[in-house]
């Protein structure tokens, strides 16, 4: 290889690297806009599902309906318990450090 070929190859590699950096910047802008719309859609879906579950719980409470031998009073007592799982203990430990 001659010095001219080596310089030409270096220039080619430099231009190829620069083109990848330009594409990465363009992709980053599109992905954040897409992520925001996806998060907005899933937030609306989660809110609707939460409202539906709450309405089903209230309906089951009014009609004394049991699902898998579990009444609404059993569900409410489980929610009111003050025991933490290992994940909750870990999160509480992380917040305590700050």
pTM: 0.43
Terminal CA-CA length for the chain: 60
Percent of the chain with pLDDT over 70: 77
- Number of structural domains (the chain) is 1
Whether the pLDDT of residue 25 is over 70: the answer is no
Q: Is the pLDDT of residue 41 over 80?
A: no
pLDDT, residue 70, reads: 77
Residue 68, Ramachandran bin (φ over 0: left; ψ between -120 and 50: alpha; else beta): left
pLDDT tens readout for residues 43-65: 888 999 999 988 988 888 888 87
Q: By residue range, what is the domain housing residue 30?
A: 3-97
């Amino acid at each position: 290889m001659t010095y001219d070929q080596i310089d030409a190859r270096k220039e080619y590699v430099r231009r190829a690297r620069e083109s990848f950096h330009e594409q990465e910047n363009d992709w980053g802008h599109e992905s954040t806009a897409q992520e925001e719309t996806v998060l907005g859609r899933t937030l609306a879906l989660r809110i609707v599902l939460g409202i539906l579950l709450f309405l089903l719980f209230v309906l089951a409470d009014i009609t004394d309906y049991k699902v898998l031998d579990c009444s609404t009073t059993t569900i409410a007592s489980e929610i009111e318990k003050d025991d933490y799982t290992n994940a909750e203990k870990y999160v509480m430990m992380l917040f305590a450090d700050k």
